[in-house]
A and B are shown apart, each in its own frame.
Chain A
Amino acid sequence: GAVVSQHPSRVICKSGTSVKIECRSLDFQATTMFWYRQFPKQSLMLMATSNEGSKATYEQGVEKDKFLINHASLTLSTLTVTSAHPEDSSFYICRAGGGRDQPQHFGDGTRLSIL
């Protein structure tokens, strides 16, 4: 069964809405989680690294005020897309760190569509 649960799987909303995406590790504690963005027919691009109990680390070019990350517990990280616009429409996927040299666990992704 799934070891990482991501919710919701799909969101359709109007421009200007803020959208929260949750990523939960089900059977293990994850001090680190990763958020990726994937455009159609493209690869996954790392947006940020979410660290439990501390601030997230954002990749170059990713606006931290636009994509708010909270990792308040060892099993939950959230990504909030604030004041979303059509260009934010994408597929967002979280990953829970399984440790170095271990298989990694991904959520099933969230398809975000901003009208």
Chain B
Amino acid sequence: SQQGEEDPQALSIQEGENATMNCSYKTSINNLQWYRQNSGRGLVHLILIRSNEREKHSGRLRVTLDTSKKSSSLLITASRAADTASYFCATDTQGGSEKLVFGKGTKLTVNP
């Protein structure tokens, strides 16, 4: 089954810096979603971007989508220690049944 690939697998930055995570996927999609997971917890929805959208913002988050390259990026600006978590992209494939296929995730550590 299709699965997204995030890179980098791990990212360590200082507070105040920006963090960029990338996601690639293989098949046509309806939308792509980014989620955050704190250690040992469930997933929290961050942003959903539809296949006909190219960029979306939410607070300090910016997501881009390039369907020609089958890739997306998540930018967190002015990072905080509280942003430390794992971030996953998930794709809702065209013609699918609401299944979400998750990427491998990026472990982000923001050092105070």
Contacts and interface: CB of A to CB of B under 8 A. Distances in A.
Interface band, chain B: 20 to 34
B15 to A, nearest CB: 24
B25 interface: no
Chain B interface secondary structure, helix, strand, loop or mixed? strand
B40 A101 contact: no
B33 A104 contact: yes
B42 A106 contact: yes
B43 A106 contact: yes
Most buried by A among B30, B44, B98, B101: B98
Interface band, chain A: 20 to 34
Contacts of B31: 100-101
B42 A43 contact: no
Contacts of A91: 40
